[in-house]
Every structure is written in C-alpha cells, then in structure tokens.
Amino acid sequence: MDYGMMLSKLGGGMVTTVVIFGLTLLFSLPLGMIVAFGRMSKGPLVRNLTKIYISIMRGTPLMLQIMMVYYGPYYLFRIQISSSYRFAAVIIAFAINYAAYFAEIYRGGIESMPRGQYEAAKLLGYTKGQTFLRIILPQVIKRILPSVTNEIITLVKDTSLAMVIAVMEMFTISKALASSSTSAIPYVAAGIFYYIFNYLVAWTMEKIEEKLNYYR
C-alpha cells in the first residue's frame, strides 16, 4: 500500500476525530449547565431524575452507551437504522455522557461559591439572572477550569471509542490500515496524532487559565 493513500486516509480520520471532539464540546458544555440546574433543582422529581441520569452516565461504560444510542432505536422500536445515523449516534452519546460529567463539575463549582457573594448581590438589587451571569458564573468558570481541562483531555482519547460502531475516525482507520498493510506505522501515526492533539488542547486551556489569573 502506498504511503500517499495511507496518509490521505489517516487525514480523513483526523478530521472526523476533531469534528467529534468539537461537536461534543459544543453540545455537552451548555447541556451540562442545564443538567446541573436540574440536579440542584428544588423540585424533588427533577432533582432525582437528573441524579439517576448522571449516575447511569458515570456508572456505565461510554462504549456501551454509544452502542445503546446506535442500536437502541432498532431493538426498542424496530426502527431501521441507516448508516448515516452512525455519526449522529456518536455525537448524541458523547454529548449526553460528557454533559453528565460537566454537570457535576459545574454543580461543585456553583455550590462552592460563598453565600456572601449572593447576599451582596441581593442587597445591590441584582436579579437572580444577573447575579448568576455577572457575579457567580465568571467566578465558577475560573474555579472549575482545571477539572474541565481534565475532562476535555479525556475526551480527546475517548473519541477513539467511536470505533465500536465503525465510525471512520482516526483510530478506526489506523486499525484497518494496520491490518491491511501488516504494518505498525498507522498505529504510530495515530499515537503521534493523539499526542499532538492533546498537547494543543492542554496549551489552549493553559492560556485560558492564564487569562483568568488577573484576580484571585
């Protein structure tokens, strides 16, 4: 097999991996906030349902969740699944899984805010929404950034789990190339790719943390 061909296939895999990564963050970061609010809700029904949801997401393998999202519609409702659903299934599974992890991080950050900040805001007449957006959230973001960074780095590696339903991301392709060419080079290439990707992610997060270091 020629290297040009190999490289172009690996390149395609990289793009898919990066897209899975980007879309997962795009959906799970805000979704996590909604889940966190549900988890902190005063209504016991909402609070307990979100609690169960979070514990399932965190207590079962992500690989199994991907399979459930992909095959579930067929087994449950006998809906024929098209292969175009493959990619959507991966994004849905990743988004709802990571939303659960982010929700717990958000909740921890929000609950760690001192009561005095809410009281000072109340006395100054801020509405609940203003208090959250202007006073609480900016401080929470700074507090939780290290935990969020950990999750995001885990996500880079977790994208390889999309292989379980044969989505053509980096890992799936390098495995196929390695066996068809009986060579370890595609694996090495994949390893280098994940390493560099993670390096860039860590660097970006560090820059963001530095930006937020203007106060303590």
Partner 1 sequence: MKLLEMKHIRKNFDGLEVLKDISLTVEQGQVLAIIGPSGSGKSTLLRCAAMLETMDDGEMYYLGEQAVASVDGRSVYAKPSELRRMQGYYGLVFQNFNLFPHFSVLKNIMDAPIHVQKREKKEVESQARALLEKMGLGDKADAYPYQLSGGQQQRVSIARALAMNPKILFFDEPTSALDPELTGEILKVIRDLAAEHMTMVIVTHEMNFARNVADHIIFMEHGVIAWQGASEELYTSNNRRMQEFLGKFE
- Can you tell me which of 71, 122, 183, 209 binds partner 1, judged by CB under 8 A? 122
Give me the count of residues in the chain: 216
- Can you tell me which of 130, 150, 179, 183 binds partner 1, judged by CB under 8 A? 130
- Can you tell me which of 4, 43, 59, 125 binds partner 1, judged by CB under 8 A? 125
Are 139 and 113 in contact by the 8 Å Cβ rule? The answer is: yes
119 binds partner 1 (CB under 8 A): yes
**CA dist., res. 195 & res. 183, Å (int):** 20
DSSP letter at 84 equals T
In the complex, least distance from residue 128 CB atom to partner 1, rounded to whole angstroms:
11
- Closest among 189, 167, 178, 159 to 98, alpha carbons compared: 159
Three-state DSSP class for 183? Answer: coil
Binding letters toward partner 1, positions 55-94, x by CB under 8 A: ----------------------------------------
Tokens at 85, concatenated = 């659903």
Cβ atoms within 10 Å, residue 182: 7
In the complex, least distance from residue 152 CB atom to partner 1, rounded to whole angstroms:
23
109 binds partner 1 (CB under 8 A): no
128 binds partner 1 (CB under 8 A): no
